[in-house]
Amino acid sequence: VETHTASVEPDERPPACCFDEWASHNAERARKRGTAAPITRHLLAALEAQGLEDKTVLDLGCGTGDLALAALARGAARADGIDLGAGAIEDARSLAEERGFADRATFSVGNGAVDPLARHDVVALNRVLCCYPSVDHLLANSLGAAGDVYAYTAPIHTGPIGLFNRISIGVGNAWYRLRDQKFQGFRAFVHDLDAVDRAIVAAGFRKAHGAHRRVWQVAVFTRTDV
């Protein structure tokens, strides 16, 4: 399992892998529950504490747009989502229509590590760093788009929970390797989040919120130079 900040060159068109299938389950769950995943709700509360009202939000690696749509429901002016998976983006667009947010939300297929990203007040990567190998490219590109706030959730990498994450993600990767045709080379990662935090701080942010929730680290950073 990858435990360091990977510096491999980003693949411009990485396979969207299994996420279309995951996305359609996620969209169904979102329709039934009408609420985001527990970790997404925690991240939203931390973002709200920094102020979401009238902000523009980039939900990078948006999946079915859980965070983007919830941010709009909490008063954000606009929300844009980008994801590698065309199926996820279709589901996000349908959910935006169903919830009456289509005029304030855009969802597009793209690679957040290499595609040009428009500046947004808030940039969030919710459960995304663990699904992409070139975390330093993803960080560098997305930090350049962050106006006031930068946030992520990612698997904890230290202590007993870090060990648990490395084992469970390692088992998952063994399964992906066995079924490589279906998963198209996809692997999950437990990145070094201390290195991630250092990169965010070096880009001009300070940590405003940090917490552990089950297997996830939640971190929200605000700009120091505003």
Ligand X SMILES: C[S@@+](CC[C@H](N)C(=O)[O-])C[C@H]1O[C@@H](n2cnc3c(N)ncnc32)[C@H](O)[C@@H]1O
Judged by the rule CB under 6 A, the positions of this chain that interact with ligand X are 16, 19, 26, 40, 61-63, 66, 82-85, 88, 111-113, 126-128, 131-132, 138
Determine the Cα–Cα distance for residues 190 and 1; give it in Å rounded to an integer.
7
Q: Minimal distance in Å, beta carbon 83 to ligand X? A: 4
Tokens of 106: 């855009």
The smaller minimum CB distance to ligand X, of residues 138 and 209, is found at: 138
DSSP string for residues in 135-188: HHHHHHHHHTTEEEEEEEEEE--SHHHHHHHHHHHHHHHHHHHHTHHHHTT---
The smaller minimum CB distance to ligand X, of residues 43 and 226, is found at: 43
Q: Minimal distance in Å, beta carbon 226 to ligand X? A: 26
Q: Minimal distance in Å, beta carbon 23 to ligand X? A: 6
The smaller minimum CB distance to ligand X, of residues 32 and 225, is found at: 32
Q: Minimal distance in Å, beta carbon 223 to ligand X? A: 22
The smaller minimum CB distance to ligand X, of residues 113 and 215, is found at: 113
Determine the Cα–Cα distance for residues 122 and 109; give it in Å rounded to an integer.
19
Determine the Cα–Cα distance for residues 87 and 62; give it in Å rounded to an integer.
12
